[in-house]
Amino acid sequence: MTSIDPAEIAKFEAMAAEWWDPAGKFKPLHMMNPVRLDYIITQICAEFDRDRNGLRALKGLRILDIGCGGGLVSEPMARLGADVVGADAAEGNIAVAQVHADQQELAIDYRATTAESLRDDGETFDVVLALEIVEHVADPAAFIATCRDLVRPGGLVILSTINRTAKSFGAAIIGAEWIMRWLPRGTHDWQRFITPDELAQMSSGAGLAVADARGMVFNPITFGWKLSDRDLSVNYILTGRRET
């Protein structure tokens, strides 16, 4: 069994060479990344009683970045001392990520593989990150259950995705794909977007206790992102804890 959707993988294979171009097809992720990282690091440090401001705040933690793409999140995790495995089903993404990590002299274990294969191999982690991937897998509930299996008791699964609202259609598809042309048309399928309630139900059904959920809000005037406790209408991020 696999949650991989070959058509979705092909979309990102075609864009792999542009992962580290802040003005390229992944510009929205580059712009969002500081906010994502702030949330992720805060959640991990709070859970594992780490100094949020420490230079090696994540030392000793094993983190899986599933659907890692070119390594936009894997690299900051490694710089903070984590033992990072970056996994992606698109081999082109892994090739780009590995070259960039080597250039930065970062030791990251990049693998062209799936969450299911890692689980079947008996791999376990303190934290599993699945960012902007849930809306692209064939079976989101099964994928989240696999992420739960990959995290150790007491560990975290952090998921980010896009809400299924009229506003998200306007922002993620009409705005990002049709008008701004940051992404190729067809990158996203609005019908595959997942509401916060749906994601929370999938997480709970997989055996994760939902610990936190925040919106990530884009301001078109300042061209900046911020976290929000209230506005989860477009992009949002959720933390689940495996307690047993």
Question: Which residues are annotated binding-site positions?
Answer: 36, 67, 88, 131
Q: Which residues contribute to the annotated binding site for S-adenosyl-L-methionine?
A: 36, 67, 88, 131
Measure the CA dihedral 170/238/73/178, to 10°.
-10
| Long-range contacts at 225-232 (CB < 8 A, ≥ 24 apart) | 225/31, 225/32, 225/34, 225/35, 226/35, 227/35, 227/38, 227/39, 232/163, 232/196
Q: What are phi and psi of 129, to 5 degrees?
A: -105, 130
At 162, list the tokens: 């896009």
Using CA atoms, how far apart are residues 48 and 45, in angstroms rounded to an integer?
Answer: 5
Rounded-to-integer distance, Cα 191 and Cα 197, Å: 15
DSSP state of 163: -
CA-CA distance, 112 to 135, in Å (whole number)? 20
Dihedrals phi, psi of 20, to nearest 5 degrees: -100, 15
